[in-house]
Amino acid sequence: MPALTYQHLFQPGSDPAAPTLLLLHGTGGNERDLLPLAAAIAPGSAVLSPRGDVSEGGALRFFARLAEGVFDVTEVTRRTHALADFLAAASAKYGFEPQRLIAVGFSNGANITATMLQLRPEVLGGGILLRAMVVLDQTAAAGSLSGRRVLLVNGARDPLVPPDHPPRLAALLRAGGADVTTAMMPHGHGLTHADLAAAKQWITPCRSPGSDTPAFSSSPPGTGC
């Protein structure tokens, strides 16, 4: 079995039918940053939250950058595969199914969610990407994201994400067959209650009508929520 190479926390869920959430923090964060968000949008879900293993002046990230918004493709690709391999090992250890693993990433965490969807789609069932940008300017392989839902939430006043990046990223993921929903908030790079509301609304269709329990048991294999 591959090693669990990232420092992380895993919290079992109280609802065995609920999706497992993968929490991926932004630059300078840690594995606890997004726990309150997870509890708010999907109570009862199990949570897997790794800590970024790249230091940028002491601020932890999931891959290095050359400058603001400038990336080394080789570095990004290597780190993406490393995290995907960790997820495969974590799935075996903790017993969750990859197609029921929903990534919730903020900033750098959202960016590596996008690159995993592009390069290693088999390890995720879908994702909520908060303030993501285009890091790898390549389409997902045709059909590789069929049945997977993705939410992109960006800020209209975000100084870090160029305004053309959200639609470009949506197109790159849709090329692989993903069902991509986009939302533009009248805010900057930081998260707000509006982001939480959008994430909660997006994840609600996973739940059975009239119930608080996600309806994954009736979903076809490989279908992400």
pLDDT average, residue stretch 163-173:
98
The model's pLDDT over 83-117, given as tens digits with 9 standing for 90+, comes to: 999 999 999 999 999 999 999 999 999 999 999 99
Decide if 49 is catalytic: no
Contacts of 58 (CB under 8 A, 6+ apart): none
> For helices 73-94 and 108-119, what crossing angle results, to 10°?
80
Q: Mean pLDDT over all residues of the chain?
A: 91
3-state SS class at 177: coil
Distances from the Cα of 108 to the Cα of 98, 115, 214, 219, angstroms: 21, 11, 28, 30
Q: Given this model, what pLDDT does residue 31 score?
A: 98
Helices (H) and strands (E) in the chain, counts: 5, 9
pLDDT average, residue stretch 214-218:
29
Decide if 187 is catalytic: no
Write out the two tokens for 207.
Answer: 């739940």
Assess if residue 3 is contained within a domain: no
Decide if 107 is catalytic: yes
Instruction: Provide the number of structural domains found in the chain.
Output: 1
How much of the chain, in percent, has pLDDT values that exceed 90? 86
Assess if residue 52 is contained within a domain: yes
**Could you say which of 107, 144, 165, 195 is catalytic?**
107
Assess if residue 138 is contained within a domain: yes
Assess if residue 1 is contained within a domain: no
Which residue range(s) make up the domain with 19? 8-218
Q: Given this model, what pLDDT does residue 206 score?
A: 60
**Could you say which of 45, 158, 165, 195 is catalytic?**
158
Assess if residue 45 is contained within a domain: yes
Assess if residue 223 is contained within a domain: no
DSSP state of 52: P
Assess if residue 78 is contained within a domain: yes
Q: From CA 148, how far away is CA 144, in angstroms rounded?
A: 9
**Could you say which of 8, 81, 187, 189 is catalytic?**
189
The model's pLDDT over 29-53, given as tens digits with 9 standing for 90+, comes to: 999 999 999 999 999 999 999 999 9
- Sign (positive/negative) of CA torsion 14, 220, 144, 201? negative
Q: What is the CATH number of the domain that holds 210?
A: 3.40.50.1820
The model's pLDDT over 120-153, given as tens digits with 9 standing for 90+, comes to: 999 999 999 999 999 999 999 999 999 999 999 9
DSSP state of 19: P
